[in-house]
Amino acid sequence: MRKSVLDHLLDWSGRIVLISILGFVLLPFVVVAIASLNDGAILSFPPKSWSLRWYANAFEYRDFGAGLVNSLRIAAVGATIALIAGAGFAYVFNRYDFMFKGLLNTVLMSPLIIPNFTIGLGLLILSTAASLPRSIWLVIAVHVVIVLPFVVRSVYVSLKNFERRYEQAAESLGGTPLHVLLTITLPLLLPGLISGALFAAILSFNEFTASLYVVNQRTQTLPVAMYNYVREYADPTLAALSVIYVAPVAAMLLLVHKFFRLEKVLNVD
């Protein structure tokens, strides 16, 4: 079939709209990336001379390295805990009816409406009252509370769309409920579980406000380390770091993509 002029026009205007949207989304990143190459010690735009020295500085600054390690550990452990707890909650919500189900649901989802700094402050007051040390576990606890609703949602949706006939067929073939859960339900839900954990990890990796209350010098996360840096220096190191920052997130996405098709995990397929 031949395309009419109108089709071509739509084709092209569609492309232009798409590119503009992409450009708009990527614009902040592009600006920061350009600013990071500025040779001068003042963060200015556009740069007058070019250099990579701020990248070297970002790598050499001790707090950033430590913050990155902390952030990765917190994201990994927090996302794992949130995945296990969230999947459990979602399963119970989907499969069982019990008293106060609605109430429990509201409580679980409340971090979505309670500001992150409230959560951070609340847990800080609690841990001080209970004279718990301000260890990395406190930070992890804060992050779990914040990301749990996202994991519960994500797993719950996968469970809702799950075809119960698979489980019934497996049961009729002699599978005990536990065996069916392990060999049928979990493998088929894996993309949903992975996507839940992935979002949790990325959210946790980016979290700043709540972390600010509960970290100390030893446990500070990368965003907090960056915040502390910017209070003292105004050079383009942070711009360089922001570019580097994308790497771990992209790595997480690529890792998932290697094992599962990302489109499927992100439900855009």
Q: Distance (Å, rounded) from C-alpha 263 to C-alpha 54?
A: 36
Q: Is 46 in the site for other proteins (CB under 8 A)?
A: no
Minimum Å gap between C-beta 177 and other proteins is 8
The amino acid occupying position 86 is G
Minimum Å gap between C-beta 190 and other proteins is 9
Which region among 75-83, 131-139, 167-175, 250-258 touches other proteins (by CB under 8 A)?
Answer: 167-175
Where helices occur in 36-95 by DSSP H, the ranges are 53-60, 62-95
CB distance 195 to 259 below 8 Å: no
Compute how many residues bind other proteins; rule: CB under 8 A: 19
Among 12, 45, 59, 166, binds other proteins (CB under 8 A): 166
Q: Is 163 in the site for other proteins (CB under 8 A)?
A: yes
Which region among 125-133, 147-155, 166-174, 256-264 touches other proteins (by CB under 8 A)?
Answer: 166-174
The amino acid occupying position 184 is I
| Residues present in the chain in total | 269
Q: Distance (Å, rounded) from C-alpha 164 to C-alpha 181?
A: 12
Cis preceding linkage at 46, omega within 30: yes
Task: For residue 50, list its beta bridge partners.
Answer: 38
Minimum Å gap between C-beta 187 and other proteins is 5
For residue 87, the SS3 value is: helix
Which x/- pattern over 168-187 shows residues binding other proteins (rule: CB under 8 A)?
Answer: xxxxxxxxxx-xx--xx--x
Considering beta carbons, is residue 167 or 235 the nearer one to other proteins?
Answer: 167
Minimum Å gap between C-beta 269 and other proteins is 14
Minimum Å gap between C-beta 185 and other proteins is 11
Minimum Å gap between C-beta 158 and other proteins is 14
Strands (E), 146-266: none
How crowded is residue 59: how many other Cβ atoms within 10 Å of its Cβ? Answer: 13
Among 165, 232, 258, 268, binds other proteins (CB under 8 A): 165
Is the Cα dihedral 42, 46, 50, 51 positive or negative? positive
Q: Is 188 in the site for other proteins (CB under 8 A)?
A: yes
Binding site for other proteins (CB under 8 A): 163, 165-166, 168-177, 179-180, 183-184, 187-188
